[in-house]
Amino acid sequence: MSFDRAKLEQAVRMILEAVGEDPDREGLLDTPKRVARMYEEVFAGLHKDPAEELSAIFNEVHEEVVLVRDIPFYSMCEHHLVPFFGKAHVAYLPRNGRVTGLSKLARLVETVARRPQLQERITTTVADTLMNKLEARGVAVLVEAEHMCMSMRGVNKPGSRTVTTAVRGIFQEDKQAREEVFSLILK
């Protein structure tokens, strides 16, 4: 299924009317079009398989941790359709020299984040995709984010961060390996 821009524009117009606004006033005339284009952009991950981001796999004699820290991302809370944003830290331990390009880890996070989402699902999906596609010995993912549904509404606690983790393979089985990788992530 693809995006239906006309339907999105109609829905935004109806929301504006429902909150008591005049969608025909000057400042709002093009808002339905702008919001529809924005939704198409921020939900672009809905129509992509995250595993495709790891299509470039190389053989390199490297059997130690590969870590990309501080990957910024933006996503939308599926419960309130408001943004949450933060950083993802993605590490893996190659098996038999199977590595991917470093930018591919950032692209993986981006693709997974660009859909109505839960932070826990981003963390799990990134870990599982990386583990399965690279056949890694281990994967560790830590995601930290601020959720606007907690900051600007509801409990109204701006600045509070949520941290989620997912570990697979050796990082799940070996406490020392897990401690080592998280010491690198949290450095």
Supply the residues annotated as catalytic.
Answer: 77-80, 119, 147, 149
Question: 67 has which bridge partners?
Answer: 91
**Cβ atoms of 15 and 35 closer than 8 Å:** no
